[in-house]
Amino acid sequence: MSEPLYRSVYKDILSRIATGAYPPGAMLPSEFELGDEFDVSQGTARKALTELERKGVVERRQGRGTFVTLRTPESSLFHFFRLRDADGNQIPPELDRNSVFRRPARPEETHALFDHPAEVYEIARVRSFQGRAICHETVVVSAAMFPGLQDRAPLPNTLYVLFQRSYSCIIVTAKENLRADVLDEKLATDLGYEPGKPSLIVERRGFDLLDRCVELRESVVITDNLSYSITLS
């Protein structure tokens, strides 16, 4: 069975956004213009835009048009930073320490990242809340996909905003594995705890608009009086 016509239009527009042809914040062609370009009806073009809007990739502004969604630090944290306090309120983390360096990719990283890079950037970050370190993150991305990333240091609190605005890379989904562990001596010293402190290990793979794995992240989280919150639907 062939796919609906609007899906072809949807995929083409999605590809243009993913490759930067339609950059963040850009206005898309109108339904009439898209219909003419793809030789489809206005209704088919509208259905493709509606699907993009449902995915959060574009936003429609009454009387103005349809625009590529511009991710903000607030929206990025809301979607991808999952720590909550005892009342269910989101924890706004502070970025304490932040470093980035380029190195050869390990075999498992070359295999996992979609472009199979020979070199990667490794980003090490410590986040805190109310003056206490609560999270150590190690983020790995392809050096070829994010050229010059080290020149942008110090990197911002919300990497996904930087990835979108500077590299037209929009991370829309993440797959995570969680496991319990304890802090080793090195991490304990770095975070200011005793070795053996219970921690939560969150291993994440971030995927872009084309469902390509573009980020590997491991977060070591101290969950004293906090919880890792996930909503299933």
Domain regions of the chain by residue span: 5-68, 73-228
Beta partners for residue 178, in sequence order: 202
**DSSP track, 131-198:** TEEEEEEEEEEETTTSTTGGGGPSPPS-HHHHHHHHH---EEEEEEEEEEEE--HHHHHHHT--TT-E
| Residue 83 exposed, middle or buried by CB count within 10 Å (0-12, 13-18, 19+) | buried
Fold of 73-228: Chorismate lyase (3.40.1410)
Taking the C-alpha atoms of residue 79 and residue 90, their distance in angstroms, rounded to an integer, is 11
Q: What is the pTM of this model?
A: 0.82
For the domain spanning 5-68, the CATH number is 1.10.10.10
> Is the link from the previous residue into 23 a cis peptide, with omega within 30 of 0?
no
Taking alpha carbons only, the member of 77, 78, 112 closest to residue 207 is 112
The angle that helices 5-18 and 31-38 make with each other, rounded to 10 degrees, is 110
Instruction: Count other Cβ atoms within 10 Å, centred on residue 102.
Output: 11
Spell out the long-range contacts of 195-200 with Cβ–Cβ below 8 A and sequence spacing 24 or more: 197/222, 198/223, 199/223, 200/228
Same fold, 5-68 and 73-228: no
Distance CA 198, CA 21 (A): 46
pLDDT tens digits for the chain (233 residues)? Answer: 578 888 999 999 988 888 888 888 889 999 999 999 999 999 999 999 999 888 878 889 888 999 988 776 555 555 667 888 888 888 778 888 899 999 999 999 999 999 999 999 999 999 998 888 999 999 999 999 999 999 998 888 888 888 988 888 888 888 999 999 999 999 999 999 999 999 999 999 999 888 899 999 999 999 888 888 877 66
